[in-house]
């Protein structure tokens, strides 16, 4: 048995002793590897540096100026319309009444009369003295006044009080047959003060809004009935004046 010098690792010792036997094999392996490396093509990855523009967003702090609200005092001038005078107010009322007129039906006869202002009326008895020598003027006056008073009207003096309505009582009679017969027309007329326009001129005018009459031929024995006939005419007139202003609107 061959004795070897002492070594702490026997495997390393054996490799030194017998390693030369493996040298040809190692050289052959390296030659084959080099041959394969150079003979066969291979893909090589080459990293190429390309310059590309890159958008960089850089946030920079910006100092913002915050405007504080400023209170502004604005002086506003408001034009206040002047107060209308009484004349202007009356003019507006008159104009509105005029335009309103065209909305109503046309008034004729009993529908043509206007309301009595403050319920005040005047009564005037007219005629010639020859006729009044046959019939009593005062009796005609008193009978007609009584009718209007019973209807709620106030009889005022013709000279001192203003009214918009006057009742004219007129016996349009003539004496015939040797003064023993009265023949003609008994007339009671309602006259009212209105505002009229013609040719661009405005005026206050008195017009006969309605008339009530009756034809008679009485002998002297019937003269006493004439005041009563005027009383009947006054009743019709008072009734129409009491309903004045009730004219209906057109198409209603």
Give 35-65 pLDDT, tens digit per residue: 666 665 555 555 666 566 666 666 666 666 6
Asked if residue 28 belongs to a domain, the reply is no
pLDDT at 121 over 90: yes
Dist CA 242 CA 188 (whole Å): 16
Residue 126 lies in a domain: yes
The DSSP H or E segment spanning 209 is strand 201-219
Full-model pTM: 0.58
pLDDT at 208 over 60: yes
Distance CA 162, CA 158 (A): 8
- Whether 41 is covered by a domain: the verdict is no
User: Could you tell me how far CA 113 lies from the centroid of its own chain?
Assistant: 33
> By CB neighbour count within 10 A (0-12 exposed, 13-18 middle, 19+ buried), where does 212 fall?
buried
Determine, yes or no, domain membership for 14: no
DSSP, res 113 = P
Is pLDDT at 230 greater than 70 in this prediction?
Answer: yes
Domain range for 205: 100-213+231-242
pLDDT of 134 > 70? The answer is yes
- Residue 64 is predicted with a pLDDT of 67
How many domains does the structure of the chain reveal? 1
- DSSP notation for 128-174: -HHHHTTS-HHHHHHHHHHHHHHTT-EE--TTTS--SEEEEEEEEEE
Q: Is the pLDDT of residue 2 over 90?
A: no
**58 inside domain:** no
List CB contacts of 38: < 8 A, sequence separation 6 or more.
none
Segment 151-180, tens digit of pLDDT: 999 999 867 778 899 999 999 999 999 889
> How far apart (Å, rounded) are the C-alpha atoms in residues 123 and 166?
6
Please name which of 117, 130, 129, 211 lies closest in space to residue 169, comparing C-alpha atoms: 211
CA distance 174 to 223: 12
């Amino acid at each position: 048995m061959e004795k070897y010098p002492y070594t702490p690792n026997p495997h390393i010792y054996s490799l030194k002793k017998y390693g030369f036997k493996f040298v040809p094999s190692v050289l052959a392996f390296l030659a084959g590897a080099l041959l394969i490396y150079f003979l066969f093509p291979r893909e090589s990855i080459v990293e190429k540096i390309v310059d590309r523009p890159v958008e960089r967003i850089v946030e920079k702090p910006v100092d913002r100026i915050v405007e504080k609200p400023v209170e502004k005092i604005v002086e506003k001038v408001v034009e206040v319309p002047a107060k209308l005078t009484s004349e202007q107010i009356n003019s507006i009322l008159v104009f509105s009444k005029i335009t309103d007129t065209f909305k109503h039906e046309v008034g004729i006869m009993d529908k043509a009369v206007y309301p009595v202002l403050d319920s005040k009326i005047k009564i005037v008895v007219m005629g010639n003295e020859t006729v009044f020598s046959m019939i009593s003027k005062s009796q005609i006056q008193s009978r007609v006044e009584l009718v209007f008073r019973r209807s709620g009207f106030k009889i005022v003096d013709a000279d001192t009080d203003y009214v918009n309505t006057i009742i004219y009582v007129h016996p349009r009679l003539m004496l015939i047959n040797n003064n023993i017969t009265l023949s003609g027309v008994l007339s009671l007329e309602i006259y009212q003060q209105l505002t009229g326009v013609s040719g661009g001129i405005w005026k206050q005018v008195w017009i006969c809004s309605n008339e009530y009459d009756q034809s008679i031929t009485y002998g002297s024995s019937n003269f006493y009935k004439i005041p009563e006939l005027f009383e009947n005419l006054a009743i019709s007139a008072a009734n129409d004046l009491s309903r004045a202003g009730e004219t209906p609107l057109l198409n209603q």
